[in-house]
Amino acid sequence: MKVTIHPSQLKGNVQVPPSKSYTQRALAAALLRKGETIIYNAGKSNDDLAALHIIRQLGAKISEQDDGIKIVSNGDVRIEGDAEINFGESGLGARMFTPIISLSGQKVVLNGEGSLLKRPMSFFEEVLPEFGIRVKTENGKLPITIRGKFNAKKAVVDSRLVKSGPGAKMIIDGSLSSQFLTGLLFALSKSPEPVVISVKNLVSANYIDITIKVLEQFGLASVSNTFRYERLVIQSKQPVPGVLEYTVENDWSSAAFLLVAGAIAGPITIRGLDLNSVQADKAIIDVLISVNAGIAIEAKGIKIHPSPMKAFDFDATNCPDLFPPLVVLAAYCDGRSHIKGVNRLAHKESNRAIALQKEFGKMGVKIELNDDIMIIHGGKGVKGATVHSSYDHRIAMACAVAALKAEGTTTIEEAGAIKKSYPGFYNDLKSLGADVS
């Protein structure tokens, strides 16, 4: 799929799509909660649909209604016979559902598609055996074969945590991705005894905030933590009986592209965002304010319009999904901007730092990579070009937003990659007046 974007002036209002981080976690929680759950405002991205398919395979009964998704579950993970489960291209799906699937006690082959087959999964080889699971990977990547039933009582007690009370105790490295810990927390919500975990070098802690929030909202577990997850205790709970109604909040990761689009080609108003959200990508607001973007936060939405913008320095280590929209913003700021956290980009849908450097280079924007720092030379003009998404949804959206005020026409190859997270992205740009074909 190719998309062509001509320089455009934007105007109007746009509603932000649902968060796939929340949607996928809510679907997992609905599977583990005994009873009926109705999820409103669920996302429709490919990653969301993959999660919906997975919980159906794991025993949930699903019926889609006009205003929501009804999920009925007995609270267990049930798989009949040996099975294969495909995560599509969802990194969160693979890392969250693998420990959940191990609750079934069945032999299961776990697989994926596209870029997911290249993403590291060795965490499971290191950690799941401590819970009684035999794990075989393909050199630390998918496909994974698991055997055995997840049992927290089998976890090796770490001597550094022996004074923490009853239940399993362990220390986990969180430096690669918080998604692995998310999956472990969901599985541990079924443990009959409290579990103490010490997490070292945790990145993207805000995503663990989301996980804990969902676990507690669904009544699956209570989680206490000290010193920003250096020590946390998870205690299973009995969910409150009856129908649980849950509304997914909207997505700051998607909103970041719309906000930057408004800053370079507005004025537009973006609606549906929770300013009290724990989503890490809400930090885009702080950056926009720091560069002097024309932004006003009002009750009916966030208004944003073009204004002369200055270069910025920002640490995106804990919100790496902001790199692509921040690169677009930096390209239109006067001077050199510095973004820290490049090391977090190697194992995304693409090697995102290299992809940004290559594709924005085609558009006349110089990007340097200096160890963990990305340096963007902005204010020198953006040129229309033929670029490639690198099969990465966020690269496609970044190029599309950059094209709005480029000199000349931009064509994006493999532009359909956006379906992974924001399938309505191009239509939303069109609704704001963008010339997209």
With beta carbons less than 8 A apart as the criterion, state whether 393 and 17 touch: no
Q: How far is CA 100 from CA 60, 115, 142, 154, 185, in A?
A: 13, 22, 16, 16, 9
With beta carbons less than 8 A apart as the criterion, state whether 149 and 187 touch: no
Q: Say how far apart CA 385 and CA 363 lie, in whole Å.
A: 6
Handedness of CA 190, 196, 202, 204 (dihedral sign): positive
Comparing C-alpha atoms, which of 415, 349, 425 is closest to residue 91?
A: 349
Per DSSP (E only), the strands in 188-247 are 195-200, 221-226, 231-236, 244-247
Comparing C-alpha atoms, which of 221, 209, 265, 290 is closest to residue 406?
A: 265
Angle at 131 between CA 127 and CA 132, to 5 degrees: 115
Is residue 321 flagged as an active site residue? yes
Kindly state the tokens that stand for 402.
């950059």
Sheet holding 141-147, edge to edge: 83-86, 108-111, 141-147, 134-138
Backbone φ and ψ of 221, nearest 5°:
-160, 160
Backbone φ and ψ of 4, nearest 5°:
-110, 135
From 321, 392, 428, 435, the catalytic residue: 321
Residues with catalytic roles: 321
